[in-house]
Structure 1
Amino acid sequence: MSPDLPPVAPSVTAELVEALSPRLRKRLDAGIARLAARPVVREGDLVRIAVDDETDVVLHAQGGTVSRADAIRCGCLLAPDCLHRAAAASVAPVAADAPVAEEAPVAEDAPAAQDRPATRSVDPGDPDAAPAGAHAGVTPAPAPAEGATVEQRAAARAVHAAAAAVLEAGTDGAGAVLQAELLRAAHTARLAGLPRAAAAAISVVTGVRAARSADPAYRLTDLVAALAATLGITRRVPHATGAELAELRGTVRQPYRPDGSLRLYGLFSEPVLTATGYAGVVTWTADAEGRLYTVSDVAPGGPARATGAADRAVRLGDTALTHRELSRAGLAVSGATVSPTGRLGAGAGVRAVRAAGAAWRAEPLDRLWSAPAAEQVARALNDGQDLLFLEVTLLGSVRESTGDCLLADCAGVPLRLVAAHDDPSLPYRDNLRLLAAARGSRLRIVARLVPGTPPRALLLATEHPTDPDARVDAGLDRLQRADLPADAVQDPPDTLPAGDEAPLHLLRRRVHQAVSGGRRVLALSASPHGEAGDGARLRRLGLATAGDVLDDLYSTAAVRSRDAFGRLLPSDAAPFARAWLAAAVCADAIERALCAGAWGAAADTASASGLLTHR
């Protein structure tokens, strides 16, 4: 996947791949690899890829997106039925399809179209792309009482089958043809009024492309989560009704509702840099009651936009504040419109002016840190508000297999703080290394919970190590050695001994292995059954359900039918996908429960187990 190319609509990629002859389809993956290495030149809305010295592929990205098949042209002799057009579409980032009117029903009292967000902030992999942190003051539109339509049930089954085929093959075997089938199914689901399933499917394609291209931003855990969401949502849609169906359908655009006048106080800003080619910044604010609101500026772009957007003006009312300034100042808003996730709209009737900010240790922001850590973690695990406002004592750095992390004490809980993004253009990791030298410093921080054990969180913002009235946005502000206490010493990272933890990795690694290598690799690596198997080990340690679903995953992966002559018959991907989904959901539920136990919180695993309600 090349970030230099404009996003291409899923329907375009599916159409071009489907038009290829069987012979060219076999050569498509090799053609994509060759085209990805060719130079790219952008001329306004036109992007040229030099196939060779005499032939170019031209993508016409009107409005920044390639939305029609005829917008991709090639100068070779075989055009328009050549391999180059399909390869160009397959190597480009995936764009969101154009919205369909009936996809996003909005309540009658919702604001008009001009009350959309100030800057387009939609990641193609997530139609509700605002960062986690639901805004409790907005009520969603009433849920329909009827079940899914015939078209929706058919679309859900098509997405499920295409996603199961990708799982069957694994990232190593899910080439452009399988990706195109999933993109076509996603487009059909969006037209049928299932934007959430479509977005999840597009996230799977994006993750598979990142894995196959060795993209440094690729994360296997993200792909596993996207695939589990796709399979889980599409399994439930044909059987769901009422509020459950409304949740599974999702919306293309979030409805914005009037919220009167707001007095907001800046908290921090965080850069956004996605694998789908979107970048920018999100600024978090809070009102006097502690409710969180966001102002975002996210659009197609790369690392330069992620770092530069913080110094762009906030497009909200009459204010000239930049995002960096807003994170430390305040905002008075009248005629505000707010989405269900707390994102502020910027309609013609919205007025906003600069106001005084507040320090983290002063009212009203001080109340955010007054809630016990266990209570905040329980909220993050149960309600989706994953920001943690913690007061910690820095203890140094710890070496892990994935890199060094910052160790801190949070009310007796040993907390590991890790970088929120590994891109070298963002100062997350450098700031963590410097903070590790400030041992003994007691700081207030804002972090995002990472479920699992030992307790772990992504560091987003922190108080300045030597200036209690200042704060540092970990992804935007770069600390210097002079910012540390005078007695700061940079010691080598400690290596902590492994603790006695539940062996969840026995289940988790097989779930991940299936996504990477496909069903065949999992069948070959299956552990022996009986008392010596991984399933038996999990049961002996009290994880009976995990042991059972792991044995079922192994058994399902190994089952292949043969004909009368002993030849392998085409496999049925559905049973394996069902067994894999059960293992993924079980591992997630156990991980959440272990995370809650490590923090002394209470977790509700109903949201995870709900994926398997209709087995």
Structure 2
Amino acid sequence: MNPQLPPVAPSVTAELVAALTPRLRKRLDAGVAKVAARPTARAGDMVRIAVDDGTELELHAPGGVVTSAGAIRCGCLLAPDCLHRAAAASAAPVADPTEPSATEQPATKQPVTAPPVTKQPVTDSAPPPPAPVPAAAPTSETATPDQRVAAAALHDAAAAVLEAGTDGAGAVLQAELLRAAHTARLAGLPRAAGRAVAVVTALRAARSTDPAYRLTDLTAALRDVLVISHRLPGATGPELAGLRGTARQPYTPDGSLRLYGLFSEPVLTATGYGGAVTWTADVAGRLYSVSDVAPGGAGRATGAADRAVRLGDTSLTHRELSRAGLAVSGATVSPTGRLGAGAGVRAVRAAGAAWHAEPLDRLWAVPVDEQVSMALAGDRDLLFLDVTLTGTVREAAGECLVADCGGRPLRLAAAHDDPALPDRENLRLLASVRGVRLRVVARLTPAPQPRALLLAVSHPTDPDARIDLGLDRLRRADLPTAPTPRGAPAGPPVDEAPVHLLRRRVDQATSGGRRVLAFPGNRDTEGARLRRHGLVTAGELLAALHAAAAERARDPFGRLLPADSGRFARAWLGAAVHTEELDRILCAAAWGADLTNAADPAVPARPGSPADPVETAHPAVPGDPADPVDAGAP
């Protein structure tokens, strides 16, 4: 994927790839690699790619997005039926045509929102999700025929991607998934369409060795697509509304607000958007966000912090607002707390407040277990914690901080791995000041042990100051001068249930496809270990996953028949959703939180991603972050 190219609408890529002959389709992946490596030149809305000395591609992107096949033109002799146009579309970021604008006009009446779907937490001995949908009353709304057809197409396309893995899911399979996503959006399934686009974006990042690629993001997006397509045909009422999603959040009047800046964070979404979001709170502790997100990468994410906030006539930048305050009149707010910037909104700068002063101090006064319970229920995933740094621990993704949080050993990881952002460097500097007590803002990560992504911290030497770890760079001069104990323990070892055995096979299937799990190995040993720890269902799911991967029927002549990708997809989906639910249960137990009112984890009510800071009250980690639309975010 070439981030220098303008985003291309999913329908455009699907149309261009579908028009290729079978011979050209076989050469498409090589063409994508060639086009992605060629130099580009931008002039206004036009981007030109020099394919070779005599051939030039042109991408016309009014408004920054290519919205029609005719907007991609090639100068070769075979145009318009050439390979170059489809390769350019497949090499570009995937556009989301329903990206909401911060300046859209609010709704004139209160929106009617469906209540969240609730369920009792399951135990390992219970049947794994996705569970069969209970029968609904005859008057309940059901999916339309078009939505059922779109869901089936999404399931088949996602199952084909899972069958092939990242190495085998080339431009042709990606185009089929984009075509299914476009059909789903037209059928009124924006959440499924958004998550399908996130799958394609993650696949392109994986195949181009993008350092920002995360296998867990691809697994989560693929799981969401399969969950929605599996459950939607039988869903009714609130569950159906949650599975459908909404393309845009309605904005409703909220009168006058007095807001206090909390912190700012960069946004890097799985669909190629970048920017910044600033979080504020009112006197009652309710959170509001102001965002500036547009197509772009890490460069735009770092630069957006110094752009003026798009709210009224204020000239405050996001970086300044995170430490100051706002007085807003005529405010409009989405259900997730995002502030609108309509023509009637007025905002002026006001005094801010320190984290240890009212009204912000009340955010840290909420007991930690209650905060985690709210996060697991889907209300928000921001945690406001007082911690003492005790050491570091090395993980597969790198080192993370270990801190004491009310007697609990807590792991604090970097929110972003992109080298253009200072998260990793700031984390390394904080690791050198063990014993320091800090007030932090973090994002909950469901895991068997208390774990969160670190977003902002109080200044190590000035409690009234704060540092946004994704935007500000710590210096050695900011750290305490007194020596800190180098031999401080990193916390007691955690006796974890071996859920990672099932999770590892789920991720391996996402990366390598069905064939990786078809080889004989230590599957019996892993299943026995899961059962010894009481994870009986997990052991059965692991065995079913291996069996579905290895089963290949033969015809009367002994030749192998095509594998049953649908059966493998169902086995993988049961394992993936069950693993997620186990993580939530173990996370709640580690924090002492209550899961009674937690939302159904199999219904991706918000992007998984970062749930995304643009449209959700609890952003997902980039790569959910969640798509900029409320359509699918860590």
TM-score of the superposition, structure 1-length normalised?
0.90
Aligned residue number for residue 82 of structure 2: 82
Aligned residue number for residue 591 of structure 2: 599
Worse-superposed segment, 184-193 or 38-47: 38-47
Aligned residue number for residue 73 of structure 1: 73
Aligned residue number for residue 480 of structure 1: 475
* Matches of 1:383 and 1:190, distance apart in 2: 24
Q: In structure 1, which of residues 521, 533, 536 is the aligned counterpart of residue 528 of structure 2?
A: 536
Matches within 5 A, 1:87-106: 87-97=87-97
After TM superposition, give the deviation of residue 145 of structure 1 in Å: 4.2
* Matches of 2:516 and 2:243, distance apart in 1: 32
Structure 1 residues 96, 606: CA separation in 2 closer, same or farther (over 3 Å shift)?
closer
Aligned residue number for residue 232 of structure 2: 237
After TM superposition, give the deviation of residue 502 of structure 1 in Å: 0.8
* Matches of 1:260 and 1:571, distance apart in 2: 59
For the residue of structure 2 that corresponds to 1:391, the secondary structure is: strand
Is the Cα–Cα contact under 8 Å of residues 332 and 339 in structure 2 kept in the other structure?
yes
Deviations 1:488-526 (A, max 9, x none): 459599787864311111100000010011111111155
* Matches of 1:371 and 1:338, distance apart in 2: 24
Is the Cα–Cα contact under 8 Å of residues 397 and 433 in structure 1 kept in the other structure?
no
For the residue of structure 2 that corresponds to 1:383, the secondary structure is: coil
Structure 1 residues 412, 203: CA separation in 2 closer, same or farther (over 3 Å shift)?
same
* Matches of 1:145 and 1:326, distance apart in 2: 46
Deviations 1:23-71 (A, max 9, x none): 0001111111121111111111111111111111111111100000011
Q: In structure 1, which of residues 142, 147, 162 is the aligned counterpart of residue 142 of structure 2?
A: 147
Matched to 2:553, the amino acid is S
Worse-superposed segment, 432-441 or 367-376: 432-441
After TM superposition, give the deviation of residue 289 of structure 1 in Å: 1.1
Structure 1 residues 147, 363: CA separation in 2 closer, same or farther (over 3 Å shift)?
same
| Greater relative CO, 1 or 2 (CA 8 Å, sep 6+) | 2
Is the Cα–Cα contact under 8 Å of residues 398 and 494 in structure 1 kept in the other structure?
no
After TM superposition, give the deviation of residue 569 of structure 1 in Å: 1.4
Matches within 5 A, 1:312-327: 312-327=307-322
Structure 1 residues 360, 333: CA separation in 2 closer, same or farther (over 3 Å shift)?
same
Worse-superposed segment, 397-406 or 369-378: 397-406
* Matches of 1:367 and 1:497, distance apart in 2: 31
Matched to 1:52, the amino acid is D
After TM superposition, give the deviation of residue 343 of structure 1 in Å: 0.3
For the residue of structure 1 that corresponds to 2:601, the secondary structure is: helix
Question: Is residue 2:4 matched to residue 1:9?
Answer: no
For the residue of structure 2 that corresponds to 1:271, the secondary structure is: strand
For the residue of structure 2 that corresponds to 1:51, the secondary structure is: strand
Is the Cα–Cα contact under 8 Å of residues 434 and 488 in structure 2 kept in the other structure?
no
Matches within 5 A, 1:499-518: 499-518=494-513
For the residue of structure 1 that corresponds to 2:433, the secondary structure is: coil
Question: Identity percentage over the alignment?
Answer: 71
Structure 1 residues 609, 86: CA separation in 2 closer, same or farther (over 3 Å shift)?
closer
Is the Cα–Cα contact under 8 Å of residues 45 and 64 in structure 2 kept in the other structure?
yes
* Matches of 1:64 and 1:183, distance apart in 2: 19
Deviations 1:542-593 (A, max 9, x none): 0011111111111111111111101111222111111100000111111111
Matched to 1:381, the amino acid is L
* Matches of 2:518 and 2:595, distance apart in 1: 33
Matches within 5 A, 1:391-402: 391-402=386-397
Deviations 1:242-292 (A, max 9, x none): 221111111111111111111111100001123432111100001111110
Question: Is residue 2:523 matched to residue 1:523?
Answer: no
Deviations 1:450-484 (A, max 9, x none): 11133211111111111111111111111111111
Which runs of 5 or more structure 2 residues have no equivalent in the other structure? 116-138, 605-634
Matched to 2:293, the amino acid is V
Question: Is residue 2:568 matched to residue 1:573?
Answer: no
Is the Cα–Cα contact under 8 Å of residues 311 and 345 in structure 2 kept in the other structure?
yes
Aligned residue number for residue 608 of structure 1: 601
Aligned residue number for residue 628 of structure 2: none
Structure 1 residues 609, 279: CA separation in 2 closer, same or farther (over 3 Å shift)?
closer
TM-score of the superposition, structure 2-length normalised?
0.88
After TM superposition, give the deviation of residue 236 of structure 1 in Å: 1.3
Q: In structure 2, which of residues 181, 191, 209 is the aligned counterpart of residue 196 of structure 1?
A: 191
* Matches of 2:250 and 2:381, distance apart in 1: 22
After TM superposition, give the deviation of residue 608 of structure 1 in Å: 2.4
Q: In structure 2, which of residues 455, 461, 464 is the aligned counterpart of residue 460 of structure 1?
A: 455
Aligned residue number for residue 285 of structure 1: 280
Aligned residue number for residue 49 of structure 1: 49
Aligned residue number for residue 107 of structure 1: none
Matches within 5 A, 1:436-451: 436-451=431-446
Matched to 1:459, the amino acid is L
* Matches of 2:379 and 2:222, distance apart in 1: 19
* Matches of 2:594 and 2:482, distance apart in 1: 40
Question: Is residue 2:206 matched to residue 1:214?
Answer: no
Structure 1 residues 482, 603: CA separation in 2 closer, same or farther (over 3 Å shift)?
same
* Matches of 1:379 and 1:431, distance apart in 2: 28
Structure 1 residues 328, 593: CA separation in 2 closer, same or farther (over 3 Å shift)?
same
Worse-superposed segment, 143-152 or 169-178: 143-152
For the residue of structure 2 that corresponds to 1:608, the secondary structure is: coil
Question: Is residue 2:317 matched to residue 1:328?
Answer: no
Structure 1 residues 295, 416: CA separation in 2 closer, same or farther (over 3 Å shift)?
same
Aligned residue number for residue 134 of structure 1: none
Is the Cα–Cα contact under 8 Å of residues 98 and 248 in structure 2 kept in the other structure?
no
* Matches of 2:592 and 2:103, distance apart in 1: 45
Is the Cα–Cα contact under 8 Å of residues 282 and 295 in structure 1 kept in the other structure?
yes
* Matches of 2:487 and 2:216, distance apart in 1: 29
For the residue of structure 1 that corresponds to 2:453, the secondary structure is: strand
* Matches of 2:30 and 2:493, distance apart in 1: 44
Deviations 1:302-354 (A, max 9, x none): 22221111111111112111111111111111111111111000111111111
Structure 1 residues 184, 207: CA separation in 2 closer, same or farther (over 3 Å shift)?
same
After TM superposition, give the deviation of residue 430 of structure 1 in Å: 1.4
For the residue of structure 1 that corresponds to 2:457, the secondary structure is: strand
For the residue of structure 1 that corresponds to 2:218, the secondary structure is: helix
Is the Cα–Cα contact under 8 Å of residues 90 and 176 in structure 1 kept in the other structure?
yes
Matched to 2:30, the amino acid is A
* Matches of 1:55 and 1:610, distance apart in 2: 48
* Matches of 2:318 and 2:96, distance apart in 1: 26
Aligned residue number for residue 262 of structure 1: 257
* Matches of 1:334 and 1:145, distance apart in 2: 40
For the residue of structure 2 that corresponds to 1:545, the secondary structure is: helix
Aligned residue number for residue 29 of structure 1: 29
Aligned residue number for residue 363 of structure 2: 368
Aligned residue number for residue 105 of structure 2: 114
The count of residues paired between Structure 1 and Structure 2 equals: 577
Aligned residue number for residue 579 of structure 2: 587
Q: In structure 2, which of residues 352, 370, 377 is the aligned counterpart of residue 357 of structure 1?
A: 352
